[in-house]
Structure 1
C-alpha cells in the first residue's frame, strides 16, 4: 500500500512539474558570456513543416493557414530556421513585429534547441513590397558545422552554389507568393541588423 501511495504521489508531482510555466525562450539573452549570438531553432534542417514559437503559450506549434498546417510542399528547409532571442522588429521602425529571423547552416538541430551561432551574411528579401531580412549563420561549435567559412568573403568564394540554392529556395518555397531577392550583406551588416532590433538596457 505504501508503494502504491508513493507511486501516486510521484505521478502527481511529475504532472504538476510538467504543468509549470516554461521559460520564455524569446527572452533569453541575445548573446552568451563569450560574446556569441544565440539562436532558438524552430524548424530543423530537412523539415517541411512551418513550426513557430508561440510567445504567449510558450510552446512550438505548426503554423496554420486557412485552418490547415502550413507545409512546404516540395523542398524542406535547407538549414535550421529560427530566431535571435530578445530581438524585436519594431513596426514603428519598419519591422514586422517579430524577432530577427535566422537560418543556421549546420547539422540538423531539434525544435527548441538553443545554439550559439556566428552570423556570416544577411539575405535581403522583398516580401509583399516590404523588406524582410534573414540572417545567415553557422554554428559556433565546430562539431555542428558543415561548411568551412569564417565570414561573408569566404562564404561567397568557397560556396557560391550555396548562395544560389538559398536564393532559389527563399524565392519559391512559399507557393502562395513569390519573394524577390534584393541582395546580400556581409557579416557586418548581419550583426548591425541584429543589433538594430536588440533593445538596449
Structure 2
C-alpha cells in the first residue's frame, strides 16, 4: 500500500511543520502529488507535460500535509503551499521545516499563499535566517527572486502578489488550513 502524503502530521513542534516536496528546486517540471494514485507525477495539460517556460523553481516546492486552503473562504482547495529554501530535494521527501514568512498571492481570484521555510536541520540550510526580519536583512534579494518568480512564471495565469507577512501570520494561516482539513476529513 502506498503512503498517503496528505495525511502526514501538520506540525512537528509548535514552531516547526512537516513539508512534502513535490517539485525539486531547479526544475521546470510542474510535478504534483496525485491524491488517487498516491504518486508524484508531472502534471499534464491537454495530454502534454506541464513545463514552466520560465526560469526553474528557485526553491523546493511542496505542501503542508493535513491542511486545506478552504474554497468556502476563497482558497484554492489544495493543501497550503511551501517554498523550502534548501538544496534540491527529491519529490516525496518529507522534511521538518521552520516557517520564516509567507508570500500572500491571489491566483485566478483564489487565495494561493506560499509559506517560505528553511529546514529545521541546520546541516540542510542554505541560508541562515529564521524570520522575515532576518531574511530582509541578510537575504532581501532572495525574497525578491521568489516574489518575482511567482509574479512572472506563467503568462497564462493572473497572479496578484500581496506581499510578505511574518512567521506568526504564516503559522496562524497553517492552523486555519489544518482546521479546514480536519473538518472536511
Taking structure 1 as the reference length, what is the TM-score of the superposition?
0.85
- 1:167-195 residue CA offsets vs partner (Å, 9 max, x unmatched): 11001111322422111100011111101
1:184 equivalent to 2:158? Answer no
Aligned length: 181
Between 102-111 and 84-93, the greater mean CA deviation after superposition: 84-93
SS in 1 for 2:26: coil
1:34/1:130 CA distance change after superposition, 3 Å: closer
Unaligned 5+ segments in structure 2 are none
CA shift, 1:35, in A, is: 5.6
Does residue 40 of structure 2 align to residue 60 of structure 1? yes
Moved more, 91-100 or 103-112: 91-100
Which one of 90, 106, 109 corresponds to residue 110 of structure 1?
A: 90
Aligned to 2:104: 124
Q: 1: distance between equivalents of 2:158 and 2:77? A: 21
Query: Which entry has the higher C-alpha Rg, 1 or 2?
Result: 1
Cα separation, 1, equivalents of 2:109 and 2:67: 23
CA distance in structure 1 between the partners assigned to 2:78 and 2:100 by the alignment: 21
Report the equivalent of 2:16: 36
Instruction: Pick the aligned partner of 2:27 from 29, 47, 64.
Output: 47
Counterpart of 2:122 (choices 142, 150, 157) is: 142
Residue pair 1:122, 1:187 contacting (<8 A) in 2 also:
yes
**Cα displacement string for residues 95-141 of structure 1 (whole angstroms, at most 9, x for unaligned residues):** 21110100000111111000000000000112123332110000111
Report runs of 4+ in structure 1 exceeding 4 Å deviation. Answer: none
Q: Any idea what the Cα deviations from partners look like across 1:14-60, whole Å, max 9, x if unmatched?
A: xxxxxxx2121110111226862100000001011000000111111
Q: Report which structure shows greater RCO (CA 8 Å, sep ≥6).
A: 2
> In structure 2, what is the Cα distance between the partners aligned to 1:85 and 1:157?
30
Change (3 A) 1:149 1:31: same
- Give yes or no for the alignment of 1:26 onto 2:6: yes
Two-structure CA RMSD over aligned residues (Å):
1.6
Deviation (angstroms), 1:74: 2.4
- 2:59 aligns with one of 59, 70, 79: 79
Gaps of 5+ in 1: 1-20
